[in-house]
Amino acid sequence: MDIKTCKECMQLTSVEEFEAATNRLLETGAKVGADSWQQRVKNQTPHCKFGEEGICCRICSMGPCRITPKAPRGICGCDVHGIVARNYLRFTAGGSATHSDHGREICHTLYQTREGGNYQVKDPEKLKRIAGEWGIETEGKDIYDLAHEMAETALMEYGKPFGVQRFLSRAPEHTRELWKKAGIEPRAIDREVSQSMHMTHMGCSSLPEALIRQSLRAGLSDGWGGSMCGTEFSDVLFGTPKPIDTTANLGVMEKDMVNIVVHGHDPSLSEMIVLYAQDPEMIALAKSKGAKGINICGVCCTANEVAMRHGIPMAGNFLQQENVVLTGACEAIVVDVQCIFPALGPLSKCFHTKFITTSEIARMPDSDFIHFNVENAGENAKAIVKMAVENFVNRKPELVYIPEMKQDATVGYSVEAIKKCLDRVTNTHVDVTGTTKPLIECIDSGVIRGAVAMVGCNNPKVRPDTAHIELMKKLIANDIIVIVSGCAAQAAAKAGLLSKKAKTLCGEGLRRVCELVDIPPVLHMGSCVDISRMMVLAADCSKDSGWNISQIPLVGCAPEWMSEKAVSIGNYVVATGIDTFLGVDPYTKGSEEVTALLQGEHGVKDWVEANYTVELDIEKLCDKMIQRIEEKRVALGI
C-alpha cells in the first residue's frame, strides 16, 4: 500500500500560527494576572497513574481501593478487570445521560412551539417524515398539533416501560439483528443510564463482559436515541442544515463591534441570541455606545449549530474558549451547557467581559446567571444582548488584541444536504435521486478509497488541533473523504480544510469528486449530538450498497477526545459496526481483559463486527486507519 503525504498547494493556517497567536494572547493574560489551561496542565502533571489506568475504585466508602501487584483486589474482592470495566461503564453513562438530556431539552422546546411564538416549526416536512417513520398520522393535522404530539412521543422514549428505541428502525436489518443477538438493543434512554449506574453500584456487576455489553447499550441509547432526538428535532425547530459559507478562527472577532460569543450546545439559546442581535433597537443601542454593530460568533458545538444554520462565524473550539476572552474584545460570553470551563468566571473578571450562564444545569461561580427557558426566551435573549452592548464602553483598548487569522469555510452538510449534492452528479449507472448511490459508486470504483468520520474534542494530552489537521490532510491526500463534527470540525475550519479550495490538497480521485459535486473534501456535519447524522448516513449507505455497515470502507476517529460524551459516542459508533480509532486512552489500559474486549478480535468485534484501536502516535493512527479501509476494500473485492 502506497500512502501519500499531503502536497500543500493552498494556504492553510498552521498549528504553529495558532500557537503563536495563543502565546501573544497569553502575554495579555499575564499582564492582568489571568490563569490559563496551559498553566493548569503543568500544575496537574504528572497525572495519577491509578486514575490513568482506570484501576482506582471509589464506588463505595470502604476505599478508595487502588490495585497494585501487592493488592490485586479491592476490599469487596473486585479484581482489576471488574474495576476498570465498571469505571468504563460509568464514564459511558455520564456521556449518554448528557447528550440525551440535551435531546430531551430540545423535545421540550418542540412541545412549546406555537404559531408566532418564541419557537416555531421551521421544517414541517421533516417533522412529517419522522412522524411517518414512527407510525403517527399526519393527514389533516395542524402542524403545531403534530409537533406537540411528536414531542410527547419523543419524550416518552426516555422512560417508556416496554420496547426499544423507535429510531432503531432506521438501521439496516443486519445491524438490528446483531443488536438483538448481542442483547444490546437500547430500551428507554433513561433506563439504560439508570441500569448502568445500578450495575456499577457496590455489590452488583463485576463481570467485564456484562459491563462492556451495557456500555454499548447505553451508548446506543444515546446515538440512536437521545442524540438522534436532539439532532432531528433541532432540525425541525431551527431548519435542516444546508451548505452555507462562513469564516473561522479568532480573526472573526471584530475590533469595532460589540462581540458576543455563544458557547455550549443547545441551539434553543443561541438561536434567540442570534435573532435579538439583529434587532434594530439593539443595533441602534450598540451604535450609541460607539460600536459599529453587533458581532455574534461561536465557540465549541454552539458554533457549529449557528454556523450551519445562519453562517455565523466560528471563533474556535474547546481549547480556544479562554482565547476569546483574552482578546480583550469580548463583551459577553454566553453559555448554556457542556464543555464550558469554570475558568471563564475568574478569567472574565480580569477583563471587562460578562460571563453569562443561562442554564440551571451549568451554574458557575463568577458568572451573571440569567435563567433561560422557553417561556422567557425572547425577553431574556434581549436582556443578554443588551447587557453585552452596554458593556462595550467598559472595554480597555490597551488590552485588545485580535489575531488576524481567519479562514473561509462551507458548513452544513446534513444527510439531506449531502444527498442533494450527490443528486447533481447522478450518472447513467445511477438513476435514482435522493440516495447515497453516487457516493457508493465512487467508493466501489476506487475514485474515493473510503471515508473517515472524525469527531471529538481537544485534549491537552495531544498538541491541540495537530492530530485533527494532520490526519485530515493525509486522509484527503489518499483519496479518503472526511466527515467531521464537534470540535474536530472547527479544527478543520480554522485551518482552512472546510474550504472548497482544500480540494487542491486531495488525491486525484477525491479532487475530481469535489470538483464535480462542488464540495470541500472535509464535510461539516454539525455538533457532537450530530454524530447521529453520521449513523443515519452509514445506515443509508449500507441500504443503498447492499453492504453491511461493517463492510463499508469507513472508520470512525476521535484523535483528541476528552469528554464522557466522547466515550458514549465511541460505544455507539462501534456498536453500529464502525471500527473506531482513538488518539487518547479511555482509562482502560489497567485491564488486559477489558482492553481485549474493546480492542481484540473476540470481544465487541464478535458481537457487532467492529472494535476500537487506541494509538497515541498520530502517524501510526493514520496509517492504521488507511490500512483498515484498504482491508475492507479487499474483503469486498473492490
Binding residues for ligand MSK, rule: CB under 6 A, are: 265, 300-301, 318, 338-339, 456-457, 486-487, 527-528, 563, 565
Instruction: Name residue, grid cell 463499508.
Output: 552
Which of 483, 566, 564 is CA-nearest to residue 521?
483
- Report the C-alpha gap between 412 and 391 in whole angstroms: 32
Q: Judged by CB, which is closer to ligand MSK: 336, or 609? A: 336
Q: How far is the CB of 279 from ligand MSK (least distance, A)?
A: 28
- Minimum Å gap between C-beta 3 and ligand MSK is 27
Q: How far is CA 490 from CA 13, 67, 300, 414, in A?
A: 13, 39, 8, 16
131 vs 497 by CB, closer to ligand MSK: 497
Comparing C-alpha atoms, which of 234, 549, 531, 276 is closest to residue 386? 276
- What CA–CA distance (Å, rounded) separates 298 from 334? 10
Place of cell 464506588: 59
> Which three cell numbers, joined as nine digits, stand for 272?
434567540
The amino acid present at 121, given as its one-letter code, is V
Q: Could you tell me the smallest distance in angstroms from the CB atom of residue 300 to ligand MSK?
A: 4
Amino acid at 376: N
Q: Shortest distance, CB of residue 286 to ligand MSK, whole angstroms?
A: 28
Q: Nearer to ligand MSK by C-beta: 320 or 545? A: 320
Distance CA 608, CA 444 (A): 23
Count how many Cα atoms sit within 13 Å of the Cα of residue 395 in the half-sphere of its side chain: 26
- Smallest distance, Å, CB 495 to ligand MSK? 16
Task: Provide the minimum distance between the beta carbon of 516 and ligand MSK in the complex, in angstroms, as a whole number.
Answer: 31
| Residue number, 113 or 458, with CB nearest to ligand MSK | 458
Nearest approach in angstroms of CB 481 to ligand MSK is 20
Nearer to ligand MSK, 171 or 618 (CB): 618
258 three-state secondary structure? strand
> Can you name the residues that pair with 115 across neighbouring β-strands?
none
Q: How far is the CB of 374 from ligand MSK (least distance, A)?
A: 22
Is the Cβ–Cβ distance between 620 and 614 less than 8 Å? no
Q: Which is nearer to ligand MSK, 82 or 241 (CB)?
A: 241
Task: Return the bridge partners of 523, or none.
Answer: 483
Helix H, strand E, coil C: the string for 88-136 is: HHHHHHHHHHHHHHHHHHHHHHHHCCCCCCCCCCCCHHHHHHHHHHCCC
DSSP string, 394-419: G--GGG-------EEEEE---HHHHH
Q: Strand runs (DSSP E) across 457-596, as ranges?
A: 480-484, 522-524, 554-558, 580-582
Q: How far is the CB of 273 from ligand MSK (least distance, A)?
A: 17
Minimum Å gap between C-beta 408 and ligand MSK is 21
* SS3 letters across 370-384: CCCCCCCHHHHHHHH
- Cβ closer to ligand MSK: 67 or 528? 528
457 or 629: CB nearest ligand MSK? 457
Using the minimum distance from each CB to ligand MSK, give the nearer residue, 494 or 565.
565
Nearer to ligand MSK, 74 or 230 (CB): 230
- State the minimum distance, in angstroms, from the CB of residue 380 to ligand MSK: 23
Cell of 234: 433541532
Rg over alpha carbons for the chain, rounded to the nearest Å, is 24
Say how far apart CA 92 and CA 199 lie, in whole Å: 13
Query: Which of residues 441 and 465 has its CB atom nearest to ligand MSK in the complex?
Result: 465
